[in-house]
Amino acid sequence: MAEGAADQAREDDRQAHARLPYPYLLFLGDATEPAFAKTAFGLRDWIPERCVGEWACAEATVSTGLPRLGPAAARARGARGLVIGVANVGGVIGERWVPLLVEALETGLDIVSGLHARLVDVPPLAAAAARCGRRLIDVRIPPPRIPIATGAKRPGKRLLTVGTDCALGKKYSALAITRAFAARGRAVDFRATGQTGILIAGGGMPMDAVVADFEAGAAEVLSPAAAPDHWDVIEGQGSLSHPAYAGVALGLLHGSQPDVFVVCHLPGRERVLGYPDYPLPSVAETIDLNLRLGRRTNPAIRCGGICLNTSQLEAQAAQELLARESGRLGLPVADPMRPGTEFERLIDSCLA
Residue pLDDT, tens place only, 301-341: 999 999 999 999 999 999 999 999 999 999 999 999 999 99
The answer on pLDDT for 166 being more than 70 is yes
pLDDT at residue number 3:
55
Answer whether 39's CB lies under 8 Å from 83's CB: yes
Name the segment(s) of the chain with CATH classification 3.40.50.300.
157-351
Confidence grade of residue 274 (pLDDT, cut at 50, 70, 90): confident
For residue range 13-34, what is the model confidence (pLDDT) as tens digits? 445 445 799 999 999 999 998 8
For residue range 128-164, what is the model confidence (pLDDT) as tens digits? 999 999 999 999 999 999 999 999 999 999 999 999 9
39: left (phi over 0), alpha (psi -120 to 50) or beta: alpha
Mean pLDDT, residues 225-242 taken together: 97
For domain 21-138, give the CATH number: 3.40.50.720
158: helix, strand or coil:
strand
φ/ψ of 231, rounded to 5, equals -105, 135
The fold for domain 157-351 equals Rossmann fold (3.40.50)
275-279 vs 271-272, strand pairing mode: antiparallel
pLDDT at residue number 285:
98
Q: Judge residue 98's burial from the number of C-beta atoms within 10 Å of its C-beta, 0-12 exposed, 13-18 middle, 19 or more buried.
A: middle
The answer on pLDDT for 188 being more than 80 is yes
Q: Which of 6-10, 111-115, 260-264, 345-349 has the lowest mean pLDDT?
A: 6-10
Q: What is the mean pLDDT of the chain?
A: 94
Name the segment(s) of the chain with CATH classification 3.40.50.720.
21-138
pLDDT at residue number 18:
52
